[in-house]
Structure 1
Amino acid sequence: MKPLDSEHLASFAANFQNDFSAHIGRDEEEAAELDRMRNALRDSLDLNIFTRQGIEWYRSAYIEAFLFMYDTAFYDREAGRYRIDEILDDGEREFGGYDIILLWQSYPRLGIDDRNQIDYYRDMPGGLQGLRQVVDRAHARGVRVFVNYNPWDIGTRREPGAPPYTDKRGYRGRFPDTNAPAVADAEALGAVIKEIGADGVFLDTMASDDPGFLAPMERANANIVFNPESLPPTEALSSIAGSWLQRNTVVPPDLMTIRWVEPRFSFRAIDRNADEHSDIIQKAFFHGCGQVVWENIFGWWNPWPETDRALLRRCVRLLRQFSAAFQDRDWQPYVATEVDGVYAHRWHSGETTMHTLINESGAAVSGPVLQAPATSPDGRQMRHYDLWNGAEIQPAQQGEAHLLPISMSGGEAGCIVSAPAGVEVDLGAGQEEPASAGAAGIDRKRLTLSDLSLRLVEPSPPVAAGEEPEEMCRVTAGTFNFGVRHNNRTVMEGACYDKIDQLWDKYHPRRFIDLPEYWIDRTEVTNASYLDFLEQARYLPRDLTNFLRHWHKPAGSEQEPWRWSPPPGKERHPVIWVDLDDARAYAHWAGKRLPLEEEWQKAAGFAVWPWGDGFDPALCNSGADDTTPVDRFPGGASHVGCLDMAGNVWEWTESERDDGHTRYAIIRGGSYLKVEGSIWYNASGAQPNDCHEKILLMYPGLDRCGTVGFRCVKDVAQT
């Protein structure tokens, strides 16, 4: 190795990871040179965060659960309660216990209406106080809670004023200022952190924080920690003490620069789309890193197999028991082994020496893999333990060293601990304890398309022969060529009802559907019509959160929505802030039902848009600031006479599905609101006839949106 120089040091530090193959099994002189290089790099960095009191726990946080808050395992909508204890029980039983849970609230719901990412925390069941109870319960069980931040959310509702700080754009400093006033989301997110007691922030798509972002977080929680999705640069270590670790960063003989420089950095590896995790679990363990457990991937169920769960339980027991060794600042990566392709790292804690190993030789190994001292510095005999398999090693003497034989399958990790005689080592540290009987956990069977059957739809009272329902359009019977697609980005993440076996979905296969004759409302249901329903039916939802949020509510009428009134001048605008059940209740009262998705599309027509193949902004409400009266655009009528089938408001369809993990429905037509600035938003603005949007369902307060209304259909008596 060439002598240490500033150019070599800068080159090494600039890389997120370095090929360490030239330094495998290095001699003492080269090892000393590398140590000098490492210390010089440390001297150039601000590493004070790693000695800060109050965040010591983060250094040994090995298991993080990505908790997709729309998962039905998290919130019981029938009982109206969070199932946090059941989630944590399952984590202990199946994964060895979580150190962190990340509460993910936003994508892929952002962009359907103008609520921003922080609103989605505020509108969770029970509001921020409800989330405070979740956090308090997690804390009582020794689990920390992170919130999520999406820096790309720049096109939704902006936050009001906030106290000044250095960079008034905060985290928006890297993004266009379009629709983004000076106030940063950092202040609003800080308020959420303070109110619910969160411990950290996941920085989605980011590698580090920005100037102006840290101060509001620390005002909310002086011991806040960040968890970026990507590897940070070394200069970010002044404020970043942990991150995710993507799969390609753990492949030997590469070495993560941050891991080498600062082993107290908190890494958790992730390969979310994999259906088998043993490789990344073992490679991460080799580097002394934990895992992110993520099974509900934005609505696509990708459960961990039992073999992987058992393997992770083994690794996390070893990581926790030897946490001090894995934070050894003098640790030595890629020390010499006896077998080509078997790599080893060496770590120390007190009198104990630990080697983590990984067999990348391409074949099984059985025999000596390491040399280790036969005696301790003070002359005591050394004993050696294969903790991966729970057995003491019987070494062979070779001069003043011991040769340590073990057996390893191809790709398998290993863990050897050496200690002087008299120092106790727990041989069972890596072994499974007998499972105790307990409540059944999360169902982890893989789903099939049959698990996504449509909710049963009851027919409406039929239209009699010769009858023409008022303000409805007739759709004749016949075979319909039904083809539908997602329109929000190149692919739709989270899967839909035709591709349950993979994450990505965009085009649904075309199919021919025989539809009988039916009638469909000419317009979207208006505020005035919905008020008639309330007054006559005395409808009272079980949960009033955000119900008709924009209507006027006289004092004392909070539980009597039939006394409420629409905004003045908007009587003929479509009703919004209603969920599926609110729409179904109206339809039932009116002697109708909600349309099936294919019924909605057939009524919209067979061209690209309801009025023809070319988009015309004069024929619909798209990209505006608000809803319009339902008869404002007569020129935009579909082939059967329906208005506003593109734009104004999205429309509920009778399309609810529940795979046992995620509930969702399909909305059609798009709305007046156009949310721009990121590929990660849902589709927005008016939508073509063959485009649909999957909307995740959780509970009424979130399901009700300021851009979603509905129209109804009526069945025809069959002769």
Structure 2
Amino acid sequence: MSGGFDPLHPREIDLPTAVPLDGDLSEGEAAERLDDAKIFAAPDDPADIPRWRAQLAAWREGARRRYPAPTRYDDPASAWASRCFTVAQVWLWDELFFDFDTQRFTPERFLDDARERFGGLDGVVLWHAYPVIGIDDRNQWDYYRVPGLEEAAAALRDAGVAVFVDYNPWDTGTRRGGDDAAELAEVVVRLGADGVFLDTLKKAEPELVAALDAARPGIGLEGESKLATARIADHTLSWAQWFADSETPGVLRARWFERRHMQHHIRRWHRDHAGELRSAWLNGVGVMVWEVVFGAWVGWNRRDAATLGRMLPVQRLLHRWFVEGEWTPLSVLEGPVTASDFALDGVTLTVLANSGDADAVYVPSIDVGQASPSAREVPAPVRWIALHEPDAALTTDPPAVTVPAQGIAAVLRIEGDAPTPSELRDLVIALAGRPHVADSAFPHRRARRLLPAPREAGSADADEIARASAGALVVAPGEHVLTVRYRARETGMHEGAPYVDEWKPLPPRLHDQRTLERVAVLPAPVRVAVAEVTEAAFGRYLDAIGEAGASDHPRSERPVTGVTLARARDYAAWVGGRLPNEDEWQLAAEQPGFERRRPLVWNWTESEHSDGRTRFVMLKGGSDHRSEGSDWYFDGGAQHPTFAAKYLLPGLGIDASPSIGFRVCWDGER
């Protein structure tokens, strides 16, 4: 904790905004304060709810006069965004989305998993560059130039899933290409993207909006965190990130202003998403599913995944009620049970949420004051259906609705002369296989060290092997205690999320320098090459294996770079060795005689790990290259031997970098 800030509690700017119950909220200073709210807080006294609703309506009426009419929402090309209830962030090299064995994208596998656990996805953000960008001069656009990515994006869209690409406005310290707007528009067209996630931005500038509109009519622009009321007109989506709610769930300001605007609740480091799900359900908006946060596992528990699976069929099939119906927030407030009503065409959808730790039962009340039927005309009775109950069926009696602990439920009321919604049959079928799940245990994953596939060893001649191993440093067997230093990026270190349940990581905790101790046990001595493999030595290897174009490879004493991890392993096996792991590298580096060739480059190690979703390799040594201008870039510059960097492993050769070389080690003393 720094400066009195408690990372486990929301900051002042994240808190909900109280709604004055007196005075004119259609204009003036009080109205302008509400223009900047994240969430309108619910009133403390239930008796104030009618006045609170009236004040919200007054604010909205005034705000619509103050700000441009949201004509973008009237464009049929933009209508998809209001149906995009659940979006997943996916690292391109997530092992559900990419198969490292076959080196191909597997979007169908990713979608199947989401369909089983969450009820499917409406959109996917293809996250591509951060946190590896900056290791060399490649810019964010280079990381979207990946073989097979266009086909993967097409497969997502063919499955009815919107594709978002990511824009990093902070990427100013890598190689410069074209104008950002032109580069981004090219990516949108090439991948057939439906939307753009505006990383670190709340909104896009008008010039960027115009360029993207020209590239893809109906493009959805989604900023990170609070979107200004003035810009809701040209941004059909936004994140509700780190939005703290009142104890009784309140109303999302952007959604109240424009019902067709889609928001996605997200608290990326939380292991319990019940609060976000409640707010999304009661406000008729969506959520962001983000289980791998830049390489750190923050998977959803079974309860929350099941809750989302119970929400989505209602949101998708009764979409019109959420965007066109008359919205009555806080229509029910009975202890921990809260509800919103959405009424349309004589049918009222009541969505209920339970913030308590015990199941609750809600029984709708029959409206009083209705005229008694005359002898000549007896109206058809009101019909009800509790959508999430087992064997849900229409009834003329108000049903007893079970609202599970930390869960949701819904009930439809159909007036006597109103037709039954045509969507009801499909909705009941979709919900039948979606029971509530009480298990809220965090689904831990542990990263395990991966052993490389066996390679043909020792095929280089004796002179080549002798030259490669000359002067190698011997690391003694036994137990070694190592001090390891690293920068606490969002990737975490070997395993675990670095900011579990924190509200929002902020400097100095975010990206600060940290230290840990590791105990390394070496069962036998290891000889580590005194320096990195040179371009000349690697060229001889390419000649030996008959690599096409090998004669064009430089033959200098500079460290060879642009070599994938797999190819570095192949070379090491060729000279009868392997890559050193991170501990062996560090122990060798602490000995006299350990050398670094120039220019300095990071070194591959044999410390490749996977938790089943993310592969990463520990790099050692640092490099002369440093991308300047943003803390989001990968570490650069010369580093002390104790420093380690967690490098998320891309596939399809993208891991090869002009900033990464390698050295070899051999088991045994001789």
When normalised by structure 2's length, the TM-score is: 0.82
User: Counterpart of 1:416?
Assistant: 411
Question: Which residues in structure 2 correspond to 1:569-588 (within 5 Å)?
Answer: 571-588=556-573
The CA distance in 1 between the partners of 2:656 and 2:242, in whole Å, is 38
Equivalent residue number for residue 311 of structure 1: 307
Residue 222 of structure 1: how far off its partner (Å): 2.0
Structure-1 residue corresponding to 2:116: 93
- Asked whether the 8 Å contact 1:353–1:419 carries over to 2, the reply is yes
Residue deviations 1:54-111 (CA, integer Å, cap 9, x gap): 0111111111121211112212243343212222233333322211111001122112
Per the alignment, residue 128 of structure 2 pairs with 105
- Indicate whether 1:2 and 2:10 are aligned: no
Q: Distance in 1 between matches of 2:352 and 2:387?
A: 11
1:295 to 1:469, Cα distance in 2 relative to 1, 3 A: closer
Distance in 2 (CA, whole Å) between partners of 1:277 and 1:135 is: 28
Q: Does the residue aligned with 1:678 lie in a helix, a strand or coil? A: coil
Distance 1:334 1:643, change over 3 A: same
What does residue 176 of structure 2 align with? 158
1:533 match: 541
Instruction: Give the Cα separation in 1 of the matches to 2:228 and 2:57.
Output: 20
The answer to whether residue 241 in structure 2 is matched with residue 246 in structure 1 is yes
Q: 2-side partners of 1:200 and 1:56: how far apart?
A: 12
| Residue 682 (str. 1) matches residue 667 (str. 2) | no
Match of 2:650 among 681, 698, 719: 698
Deviation at 1:708, TM superposition (A): 0.5
* Alpha-carbon spacing, 1:448–1:432, altered in 2? closer, same or farther (3 Å): same
Match of 2:624 in 1: 672
Moved more, 85-94 or 224-233: 85-94
Structure-1 separation of matches of 2:357 and 2:570: 63
Q: Aligned partner of 2:321: which letter?
A: A
SS in 2 for 1:523: coil
CA distance in 2 between counterparts of 1:571 and 1:417 reads 76
In 1: Cα distance, 2:327 partner to 2:368 partner: 17
CA spacing shift, 1:2–1:101, aligned 2, 3 Å: same
Code of the residue aligned with 1:497 in structure 2: it is H
Asked if 1 retains the 8 angstrom alpha-carbon contact of 2:527 and 2:669, the reply is no
Q: 1:264 to 1:476 in 2, by over 3 A?
A: closer
**CA separation of 1:583 and 1:647: change in aligned 2, threshold 3 A:** same
In 2, Cα distance between the equivalents of 1:714 and 1:361? 60
- Distance in 2 between the 1:274 and 1:27 partners? 31
Q: CA deviation at 1:318?
A: 0.7
The answer on whether the counterparts of 1:263 and 1:329 sit within 8 Å (CA) in structure 2 is no
Aligned to 2:486: 487
Q: Is the 8 A contact 1:338 1:368 kept in 2?
A: no
Structure 2 unaligned spans of 5+ = 1-20, 435-441, 501-509
Identify the residue that residue 192 of structure 2 maps to in structure 1: 197
Corresponding position of 2:446: 448
Contact 1:518 1:715 in 2 (8 A): yes
**How far did 1:506 drift?**
5.1
Instruction: Specify the SS of the correspondent of 2:343.
Output: strand
What residue is the counterpart of 2:13 in the other structure? none
Count, aligned residues: 614
Q: Which residue type is aligned with residue 661 of structure 1?
A: R
Given the superposition, is the C-alpha separation of residues 328 and 700 from structure 1 closer, same or farther in structure 2, using an over 3 Å criterion? closer
In the alignment, structure 1 segments of 5+ residues that lack a partner are 161-182, 397-403, 437-443, 541-559, 606-638
Match of 1:120 in 2: 143
Residues 1:358 and 2:353 aligned together: yes
Point out the more displaced range, 5-14 or 525-534: 5-14
Q: Are 2:140 and 1:143 equivalent residues in the alignment?
A: no
1:62 maps to which residue? 85
Do the aligned partners of residues 382 and 699 (structure 1) sit closer, same or farther apart at CA in structure 2, a change above 3 Å counting?
same
Which residue, out of 103, 107, 112, partners 1:84?
107
Residues 522 and 368 of structure 1: is their aligned pair in 2 closer, same or farther, counting only changes over 3 Å?
Answer: closer
Deviation at residue 457 of structure 1 after TM alignment: 8.1
Report the TM-score when normalising by structure 1.
0.77
Partner of 2:8: none
Kept in 1, the 8 Å contact 2:559–2:597? The answer is no
Q: How far, CA to CA, are the matches of 1:586 and 1:577 in structure 2?
A: 13
Does the C-alpha gap of structure 1 residues 144 and 517 become closer, same or farther in structure 2, counting only changes over 3 Å? same
Give the Cα separation in 2 of the matches to 1:512 and 1:645: 26
Deviation at 1:648, TM superposition (A): 1.0
Of the three residues 249, 258, 261, the one matched with 1:262 is 258
Which residue does the alignment assign to 2:15?
Answer: none
Q: Please name the residue that 1:293 is paired with.
A: 289
Q: Which residue of 2 aligns with 1:644?
A: 596
SS in 1 for 2:594: coil
**Given the superposition, is the C-alpha separation of residues 59 and 499 from structure 1 closer, same or farther in structure 2, using an over 3 Å criterion?**
closer
* Paired position in structure 1 for 2:59: 37
How far the C-alpha of 1:322 sits from its partner, in A, is 1.5
Cα distance change of structure 1 residues 361 and 427 upon mapping to structure 2, 3 Å threshold:
farther
> Structure 1, residues 110-143: CA drift from partner, whole Å, max 9, x if none?
1211111211111x2x1xxx32222222222211
Q: 1:128-139 to 2 correspondence within 5 Å?
A: 130-139=148-157
Q: Identity of counterpart residues, as a percentage?
A: 28
